[in-house]
Amino acid sequence: MPSHLTAPPLALTPSTRARLEAADGLLVEKFAEAALPTKHGDFRIVAFINNLDFKEHVALVRGDLAAQAIVPTRIHSECVTGDVFGSLKCDCGEQLEHAQKELGNSPAGVILYMRQEGRGIGLANKIKAYSLQDQGMDTVEANLHLGFDDDLRDYTVAAEMLRLLGVDNISLITNNPRKAEGLRANGITVTERQPLIILPNPHNKDYLDTKRDKSGHLL
């Protein structure tokens, strides 16, 4: 198989890539940081590199995190269809915007944007799952039919990103108890959970019901 088909997807200098690949154990590093003014307030955006999944995860940072004993935090998994195209099949885009708006009105907080499309199955497979849902399956059944677990997301890198930002005690903005469990398993203190309630629409009501009934989301 050609080497370009097996290499990790990050576009890095050869020396940086070699250092990541040669690391003994997990390596997560800040790669770049810049100001990011948005319609919801001023943030800083921080890009990270890692040697676990070799994906470019980022953090949106609001204010002085070190000044907060408990940092409001959203762990948001990438959803191109919802976050970019405004899909009504899910609540992802609305959740991201709500969290960003909430933190934009707060003195400090962080959103980790994790490149874990489709609960870890990737964009192309998520569209396959969408097709199965069009034929009558629910979101869990579609993932299982494709040979994946209901949720393949991992929070190892997310926890290390938080530590690199100086955060180890958070108020987690989520409806998904698995996120809290995953972060706690990786050494992050989740002191409280903030619900993130999005009103259903005719296109995502069944999807939200499935998340509640089969995936344990607190909706």
Based on the fold, state whether residues 83 and 186 are members of the same structural domain. Answer: yes
User: In the annotation, is 153 catalytic?
Assistant: yes
Query: For 218, left (φ over 0), alpha (ψ -120 to 50), or beta?
Result: beta
Domain containing 136 equals 118-149
Same domain, 85 and 189: yes
User: Do the domain assignments include residue 50?
Assistant: yes
Contact 215, 140 (CB under 8 A): yes
Q: Which of 24, 91, 151, 213 is catalytic?
A: 151
Total domain count for the chain? Answer: 2
Please pick, among 153, 178, 184, 212, the residue that the annotation labels catalytic.
153
Look at residue 9 and tell me if it is in a domain.
no
Q: Which residues contact 196 (CB under 8 A, 6 or more apart)?
A: 74, 95, 98, 99, 173, 174, 175
Residue 141 and residue 80 share a domain: no
Is 74 marked as binding a ligand?
yes
- The verdict on whether residue 128 carries a ligand-binding annotation is no
The reply to whether 91 belongs to the active site is no
95/159 same-domain check: yes
Strand partners, 34: 45
Whole-structure pTM value: 0.89
Is 90 annotated as belonging to a binding site?
yes
- Annotation-wise, does 75 bind a ligand? yes
79 domain-assigned: yes
Question: Which stretch of DSSP H or E encloses residue 32?
Answer: strand 28-38
Per-residue pLDDT for the chain (219 aa), expressed as one digit of tens each?
344 444 456 778 888 888 888 888 999 999 999 999 999 999 999 999 999 988 999 999 999 999 999 999 999 999 999 999 998 988 899 999 999 999 999 999 999 999 988 777 888 888 888 888 888 888 888 878 888 777 777 899 999 999 999 999 999 999 988 899 999 999 999 999 999 888 889 887 777 777 777 776 776
